[in-house]
Structures are given as C-alpha cells and as structure tokens.
Amino acid sequence: MTGESLKFERQRKNWTQQQAARHLRVSQGYLSLLEQGRRPVTRRMLKRLLGAYDVSPTSLPLNPPESWTELNTDGFAQCLGSLGYPGFSYFKVRQVRNPAEVLLLALVQPDLDSRVVEALPWLPFQYADMDWEWLVRNAKLQDAQNRLGFALTLARQFAENKNDAAKTETLKQQEALLDRSRLAREDTLCHDSLTQAEKRWLRENRPPEAKHWNLLTDLTVERLALVE
C-alpha cells in the first residue's frame, strides 16, 4: 500500500490526518510520513489500516512469484483464515496477503492438503474484485491456467447458485479468457502424487468441468457448500 493510496483511503473516509491518526493509534506526524512515503507500512500497521479504512485485501501489494516464500498446509490455512474463509477461522491471524497472490501461490503447488484445495474456489468468489490481469498473466507464466480456470468455473457455479449476477458475470469473463489458452496436457489439481490407479479412476469418473480443463480431480461445486 503506497503513501498515495493511504491518503486516498483517508480522504475517502472524510477524515483529517488527526482523526485518522486517532483511529490508527499513531501520531499525526507518523501518519504524515506514511502518506508521504517516507516511512514503510509495517505488517502490524497494515492490519490497522485495512480495518480502520475498510479497505479490501485486494488492494494489498502483489509480489512477483520469484519473491514468494513457500507455505505449508498451516501457512495456507492461516492465509485463508485471515481473508475470512470460515473453514479456517480458528487460526490466529498473523498477516493478511492479497487473495490473488494466495490463490496463485496455492495453485502452483505440486501437492496440497485437500482441505486447502477445496477452499481455493472460495477466493475468486469472495474477492471477485481481485486484480485479474495480474492473476491471469502470472498463471500463464506458471503454466497454471488450467488449474485457475477450473477454480473459476467452480466459483462461477457457486455464484450462480447464490444468484449473484455480478460475480457470475465477472467470473464468466475470466473463464472465457483463460479458456483461450487452455493447455492440452493432463494435470492434477495440486495432487501430483496421485498413483497411476488413482489417475485411471479419475479419468473415468471426474466431473465434466474437470475434463474440460484437463484436470484429474473429483472436486465439484456441491462440495463447496461448506464455505457459507
């Protein structure tokens, strides 16, 4: 979050620097330095800013893939919990990351816990205002467009079930964009350790959406009902 965006969000709330500083529990002088870009925004301060200014996590900085740090199952669960995913709400919030970054970082993993995989379509549904240009571009660079496309398909189906026309249309547009670059090679949905027997079973029993995206998975939108 840049100093300019901090100032914009404060003004959007119609707050003076003094009023905003009181809400953020900092001095006016320190807030002024933040808005001028003369002091970095710490993670602790970022949490306060998101809460005080009612800012969506989609406005957080997006880090390039080469700067990402690996996350284990608990790490992904904590990220999802901090973004509001009900299934991992019991985790203590340590930091909030941009949902687009969390989604892509998860999708490029060779193997993920099934609980995390089942949570991924919730991200594009919940944060339909994420930076799609960044997400689609980097998914293609990582050869993860099929995995992303499938996640968007489930998210769009969930939006349809919720009668959310705006999110349905947004997700449908991104689906169509990814479909143009759909890869012909077979892949899994973050379960590369599948045995040959499991792969054979999935080829015969996977849902049509997974077959369309050339993925070996049995995940369906019906299993996403638990995110409500």
Task: Give 139-194 pLDDT, tens digit per residue.
Answer: 999 999 999 999 999 999 999 999 999 999 999 999 999 999 999 999 999 999 99
* Percent residues over pLDDT 90 in the chain: 65
At residue 94, the pLDDT reads 61
Which position has the higher pLDDT, 64 or 130?
130
Q: How far is Cα 163 from Cα 143, in angstroms, rounded to an integer? A: 32
Q: How far is Cα 157 from Cα 120, in angstroms, rounded to an integer? A: 14
CA dihedral 136→174→224→74, nearest 10 degrees, is 20
At residue 159, the pLDDT reads 95
The verdict on 150 and 168 lying in the same domain is yes
- Measured in Å, how far apart are the chain's first and last C-alpha atoms? 30
Residue 169's domain comprises 65-227
The verdict on 49 and 145 lying in the same domain is no
Any domain includes 159: yes
Range of weakest confidence among 40-49, 124-133, 174-183, 198-207: 40-49
CA distances (Å), origin 113, targets 1, 85, 97, 116, 118: 31, 16, 20, 5, 9
Residue 225's pLDDT band (cuts 50, 70, 90): low
The verdict on 50 and 152 lying in the same domain is no
> Mean per-residue pLDDT for 106-134?
95
The verdict on 90 and 193 lying in the same domain is yes
How many CA atoms lie within 13 Å of 49's alpha carbon, on the beta-carbon side?
25
How many C-beta atoms lie closer than 10 Å to residue 9's C-beta? Answer: 20
Any domain includes 60: no
CA distances (Å), origin 216, targets 148, 155, 171, 219: 14, 18, 22, 9
The verdict on 50 and 69 lying in the same domain is no
At residue 208, the pLDDT reads 97
Any domain includes 97: yes
The verdict on 100 and 159 lying in the same domain is yes
The count of domains in the chain is 2
Answer whether 175's CB lies under 8 Å from 149's CB: yes
Residue 136 above 90 pLDDT? yes
Domain containing residue 9: CATH number = 1.10.260.40
The verdict on 110 and 36 lying in the same domain is no
User: Can you give 55-74 as a three-state secondary structure string?
Assistant: CCHHHCCCCCHHHCCCCCHH
Parallel, antiparallel, or unpaired for β 215-216 and 187-188?
parallel
The verdict on 118 and 157 lying in the same domain is yes
Q: What is the sign of the dihedral through the CA atoms of 164, 131, 109 and 91? A: negative
Best CA proximity match to 179, nearest among 204, 209, 205: 209
CA distances (Å), origin 57, targets 75, 121, 125, 161: 17, 17, 14, 25
Any domain includes 71: yes
Residue 93's pLDDT band (cuts 50, 70, 90): low
Question: What rounded mean pLDDT belongs to the chain?
Answer: 90
Which position has the higher pLDDT, 204 or 226?
204
